[in-house]
Amino acid sequence: MCLGCDVVNGVVVPPGGIIYAGEYWIVNHCVSPALLRGFLIVQPKRHCEHLAELTSEEAAELGTLLQRSAAALSAVVHPMKVYVLSFGESVRHIHFWVVPRYEGIPTDGLKGLHEIVVERRWVCSDDEAARIAEQVREQFT
Ligand SMILES: [Zn+2]
């Protein structure tokens, strides 16, 4: 049971569906309940739990895709900043959070993430997340 694999395989459909599929990685909005509008996830198509185990091809695509994801997100939601981070503790499948920091979210990154992830102060509707996913998808084409 792996949420990452479930999204890759279509068992779990995030709001707006898969935004972009590269050769080795996909981009999607975070699953419902969406913690924040525009909270994107970049994850490999194959189940892999350690960055050290990526192939050089996977690693190369990752760099480009993180940059493209941040650019696409910025064009759509115009955040003050875009955070990119990866923990992989509760969902061990490698995944990067690409998180827009909006005005009003604390500029102390950890405080801001606490509001978003723990306090869930910035949750948005699935419809809103799906609309943003669609707009981000357009940026990729
Ligand atoms: Zn997996």
**Gap from CA of 1 to ligand 1 centroid (Å):** 8
Q: What is the pLDDT of residue 38?
A: 98
**Gap from CA of 2 to ligand 1 centroid (Å):** 5
pLDDT band at 27 (very low <50, low <70, confident <90, very high): very high
Instruction: Please write the tens of the pLDDT for every residue from 31-70.
Output: 999 999 999 999 999 999 999 999 999 999 999 999 999 9
User: Average pLDDT of 22-26?
Assistant: 98
- Rounding to the nearest 10 degrees, give the CA dihedral for residues 59, 76, 7, 62: 0
**Gap from CA of 61 to ligand 1 centroid (Å):** 18
Which residues crowd ion ligand 1, with CB under 5 Å? 2, 4-5, 47, 93
- Residues 6 or more apart in contact with residue 84 via CB below 8 angstroms: 66, 70, 96, 97, 98, 99
**Gap from CA of 95 to ligand 1 centroid (Å):** 10
User: Average pLDDT of 73-82?
Assistant: 98
User: Average pLDDT of 2-16?
Assistant: 98
**Gap from CA of 6 to ligand 1 centroid (Å):** 7
Q: What is the pLDDT of residue 136?
A: 98
Instruction: Please write the tens of the pLDDT for every residue from 89-102.
Output: 999 999 999 999 99
Neighbours of 104 (CB within 10 A): 10
**Gap from CA of 93 to ligand 1 centroid (Å):** 5
Average of per-residue pLDDT values in the chain: 97
**Gap from CA of 44 to ligand 1 centroid (Å):** 8
